Amino acid sequence: MDLSPLLKPQSVAIVGVTDDFSTIGGRVFKALVNHGYKGKIFPINSEHKQVGGIRCYPRLSDINSEIDTILIAVEGKEATMAIEESGKKKIKSAIIYSTSFIKHGEEARLENERIVDLAKKYDLLVCGPNSVGIVDFHDNITMSSSQFLDLPQLIPGKIAFVSQGGSLGEAIINRAQDNGIGSSYFISTGNEVVLELSDYIEYLLDDPHTSVIIALMEGIRDAEKLLHVADLALEKKKPIVVMKVGRTAAGRKAVNSHTGLMAGTDAVYEAIFQQKGFIRVFEPDELYDTASMLARNSFPKGNRIGIVTTTGGGSVILVDKLTEMNMVIPELASKTDRELSKIIADFGLIKNPLHLTSQYFSDPLLFPKVLEIFSRDENLDAVIIVISTVSGEQSKEIAKHIIRTAESFDKPMLTWWSGGNLSAPGMKILGESWVPFFTSPDQCVVALTSPIRYGKFLENHFGEKAPPLSISSSSRERIEAILKGSGSILTEDLGKEILSGYGIPTTSEKLSRSLDEAQKFAIEIGYPVALKIISPQIAHKTEIGGLRLSIGNEEELSLAYNQILDNVKKHSPEAEIKGVLVQEMAKPGKEVIVGIIQDPQFGPMIVFGLGGIFVEVLKDFSLRHAPLKEREAWAMIQNIKGYPVLKGVRGNSPCDLTAIVRVLMAVSQLAVDFQYSISSMDINPLIVYPDGQGVKVLDCLFVKKYQ
């Protein structure tokens, strides 16, 4: 979608402009004039002949010139009328600042719908309502009432900021400008009745002034569009840094399965972010800190970090935080050790982190020499320099040394100014340079690790495609018949039949309709066996006594069979009994759960976790959007906290992880193939045996979509 008429207008009209620069219309006009907008401005207000020395028109229809964008600073129906007049005049785009459209009630709803209808009728690009506006920092197109535009000069840069938050977005962009961090765009999306966050991101992916996009996200209306834009961003290798607010699971829809109860809204968003390469941060300051690192440096080649420090305590803090983020603090190369030994022979241990202590005060040439040798080390992918207790001219010299060294090497170099005089001139020099500069270890670590992970993600992303899993036409026809002919909840035998169609191993079993059949099937399968009631009305068998395990002979089977039927008649007398399932008693192994949920926004999501309390109480599970790539299936297994249990700990044999991956891939394809028929599905438990011995489904539950 070409948004250039909206984002790069050659002419604008302002409806609701006044000479009172405290009003929205007045502030927008003032910002355009003060920052030197090069296009034509057409103020519209019937009560003014001119505003700020520029002719003011009574009505939009009085303007004979072509207009790219109309800026609407009036409320309610007046704003809607302005949209309609814009369409008739063939204006291409509009920004609506009005807040009246966010009110609840029938009138506000109808006005929003009216805007949507008019936008479709006249092919009009609409930002808002309730937008703070749009700013192009490179061309000084300041179509916003935001107070940060009171700054005498804007700082252009390579970071585009798209915000669904109004005042919070203003605060973040204001802080970035105050800190000397440049931007290419600030876009406040408002209520998004027409254009939404994904539309702006897609346009910015082709913007030559933008190398990184940051997004303050509250929610997504069109999930498919977001997924499409995420794929485009990966193709163009433009990182998207996102801060998602509203992380509670409120509004989660309860369904009749374990996996359906697990995935709150934020868990689904987190899965999408991980899978699609979004770089997620959790604090406002981290948005621009991380984006600045991505914009100023190429991605580090690995996760091996070197630290040069003037404070021992500071280096300990960094090492702890980096290690928690799976970064490596390697030993220095032998060549580095030899070269450093020549210039700091009396210093002490030469290692990583390298602590200079107070020695760098007495020798002004020591710091640059050490920095150059250290940065050249082949074992290091990035270098962090920790500075403390310096001020005045010395801080300026240190800053200059850091910048010169950083310019000489292609590996990222960051600075954490950990203490001393935070207003030292050296800090100002670093802040104005392209060397990433931070005042806290957390900011420093987040900013460094994000591009490392993004670079690794890109490397893996382009090396693999999701192979489709095909099933036979007869299996597909049978599955379609099962889903069409059964009730809202599938019985276990039918669920396992579906899974078998996708090549997922299940227990040997037969459905008996009499005690004689059960005894016959038990002999065929081989004792010991399990008995399970099969009824469309009974999803969970244990609670009503519809399950018996480890039945060792015919006498035990006869007793168990009758007990199950008696229990069902007592607890669920209305239940339709299809029969009693005679099932092999699978040998023990590790229990995991694999499932499907159909998220209302993103569609089919795959769930994986350890069984039992791990998933139901501890909420230790991972989510991914289907279809899965094999790499993503492996990541699902490795991302749960219980992964060491599967990998093998304390002498236990490792589980057959490859077999789990095959099941995840098969379930992923099942979820895609029948996303309009299956609401949710549990395999619980899936028994996993030692490496090379496979897996087996013990039980499953399918819940159909209402059709």
Domains of the chain, earliest start first: 4-238 (3.40.50.720), 298-461 (3.40.50.261), 508-584 (3.30.1490.20), 590-704 (3.30.470.20)
Q: Decide which of 109 and 442 is more confident.
A: 442
CB proximity list for 361: less than 8 A, separation 6 or greater: 394
pLDDT digits (tens, 9 = 90+) for 128-144: 999 999 999 999 999 99
Q: For residue 573, what are the CA distances in angstroms to 537, 544, 546, 547?
A: 10, 11, 13, 16
pLDDT digits (tens, 9 = 90+) for 7-41: 999 999 999 999 899 999 999 999 999 999 999 99
pLDDT at 361: 58
Contact between residue 593 and residue 610 where contact means Cβ atoms under 8 Å apart: yes
Q: Decide which of 421 and 341 is more confident.
A: 341
Q: How confident is the model at residue 261 (pLDDT cuts 50, 70, 90)?
A: very low
DSSP letters for 642-663: THHHHH--TTPPPB-HHHHHHH
Q: How confident is the model at residue 249 (pLDDT cuts 50, 70, 90)?
A: low
pLDDT at 360: 59
Q: Which H or E run includes 157?
A: strand 156-163
> Whole-number mean pLDDT of the chain?
89
Instruction: Say yes or no to pLDDT of 204 above 60.
Output: yes
pLDDT digits (tens, 9 = 90+) for 147-177: 999 989 999 999 999 999 889 999 999 999 9
Q: Where are the beta strands (DSSP E) in 248-303?
A: 279-280
Longest dimension (CA), the chain: 102
pLDDT at 103: 60
- Strand-pair category, 183-188 with 133-136: antiparallel
Q: How confident is the model at residue 248 (pLDDT cuts 50, 70, 90)?
A: low
Contact between residue 322 and residue 329 where contact means Cβ atoms under 8 Å apart: yes
Q: Per mean pLDDT, which range of 116-120, 190-194, 409-413, 633-637 is the poorest?
A: 409-413
pLDDT digits (tens, 9 = 90+) for 452-490: 889 888 888 876 665 667 889 999 999 999 999 878 889
Q: Where are the beta strands (DSSP E) in 292-379?
A: 305-309, 354-355
pLDDT at 254: 37
Instruction: Say yes or no to pLDDT of 426 above 90.
Output: no
pTM of the full predicted structure?
A: 0.88
Instruction: Say yes or no to pLDDT of 256 above 50.
Output: no
CB proximity list for 452: less than 8 A, separation 6 or greater: 299, 300, 302, 303, 327, 381, 382
pLDDT at 508: 96
